[in-house]
């Protein structure tokens, strides 16, 4: 996977400092998502993506990350074997075969796995 | 991208027929998602993924598709230029540059784009 530099052309983030005019920091306004989009899309363009690839890759990344974060936030605090019990080895042979990797968890490794895949189509 | 065959080893889907015992078809029960998971994970295994790659790729595909479907279902019926107006070319140069590809739409092409990327890491 090519390195994806994080663009820093937008200057210091106002998300961590008040703008001095008494307005709320950027994280409390609609400008924060646009500044984040500028960093993400800018990094993809710097990595060599064309405009369509940068825009569509950004959405692919966002949807993947949102889904995984929702799963992590909803993960039970205690072991939950409902999925394991629901999988019938005869009726669902594939889920049964991969069951060890289907439980909630690996929340450090799975984002890297998905992002590596999504970003692997960027120019070398 | 390698071809991803759709596994058909689970026989005819009970989602389209009653099981004869008076129970609701599979699409109305918790078994339908497991049967779908069996087809998706089975296809990834048939394509050469190992167990971890099959499980984690399946989740990556599901989160991407759910996000895109939610966007499509929420897309306004009439042109909506709020995003275009919110993007400041000076403050958000990257979103401004890719604006033509960031509007809701291309719902035929973007799923293929994202799936091609996600599945490109499968064995050749």
- Whether B54 is in a domain gets the answer yes
DSSP characters for B80-112? --HHHHH--TTT-HHHHHTGGGTSS--TTHHHH
| pLDDT per position as a tens digit, B32-51 | 889 999 999 999 999 999 99
Give the C-alpha separation, A97 to A110, whole Å: 19
| pLDDT per position as a tens digit, A89-101 | 999 999 999 998 9
Of the candidates A52, A67, A71, which has its C-beta nearest B101's C-beta?
A52
- Whether B4 is in a domain gets the answer no
- Whether B42 is in a domain gets the answer yes
Which residues form the domain of A24? 14-119
3-state secondary structure of A42: helix
Give the C-alpha separation, B56 to B123, whole Å: 15
Question: Per-residue pLDDT for A51 more than 90?
Answer: yes
Which CATH number goes with the domain that contains B29? Answer: 1.10.357.10
Q: Mutate which of B1, B26, B57, B60 to test chain A, going by most A C-beta atoms within 10 A?
A: B60
Residue A29: the pLDDT is: 57
Q: Mutate which of A4, A42, A98 to test chain B, going by most B C-beta atoms within 10 A?
A: A98
Give the residue among A48, A117, A59 at the shortest CA–CA distance from B117: A117
Average pLDDT of the segment spanning A55-71: 94
Cβ of A116 within 8 Å of Cβ of B113? The answer is: no
Give the C-alpha separation, A75 to A68, whole Å: 10
Task: Give yes or no for A61 touching B (CB within 8 A).
Answer: no
Instruction: Please name the residues in contact with B20: beta carbons below 8 A apart, sequence gap of 6 or more.
Output: none
Q: How many domains does chain A have?
A: 1
Q: Which two tokens stand for residue B83?
A: 């995003």
- Whether B2 is in a domain gets the answer no
Task: Give yes or no for A8 touching B (CB within 8 A).
Answer: no
- Whether A115 is in a domain gets the answer yes
Q: Mutate which of A55, A70, A89, A123 to test chain B, going by most B C-beta atoms within 10 A?
A: A55
Give the residue among A115, A104, A42 at the shortest CA–CA distance from A74: A104
Confirm if B63 and A5 have CB atoms less than 8 A apart: no
Kindly state the percentage of chain A with pLDDT values over 70: 76
Residues 96-115 (A) with a CB less than 8 A from some CB of B: 97-98, 100-102, 106, 110, 113-114
Give the residue among B59, B51, B60, B54 at the shortest CA–CA distance from B41: B54
Confirm if B95 and A38 have CB atoms less than 8 A apart: yes
Q: Is the ipTM of this complex over 0.85?
A: no
């Amino acid at each position: 996977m090519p390195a994806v530099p994080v663009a820093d052309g937008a200057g210091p983030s106002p998300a961590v400092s008040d703008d001095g005019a008494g307005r709320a920091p950027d994280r409390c306004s609609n400008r924060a998502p646009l500044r984040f989009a500028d960093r993400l899309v800018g990094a993809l363009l710097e990595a060599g993506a064309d405009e369509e690839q940068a825009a569509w890759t950004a959405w692919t990344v966002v949807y993947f990350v949102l889904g995984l974060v929702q799963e992590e936030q909803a993960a039970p605090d205690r072991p939950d074997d409902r999925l394991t019990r629901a999988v019938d080895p005869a009726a669902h042979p594939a889920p049964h075969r991969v069951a060890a990797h289907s439980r909630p968890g690996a929340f450090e490794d799975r984002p890297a796995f998905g992002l590596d895949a999504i970003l692997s189509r960027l120019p070398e």
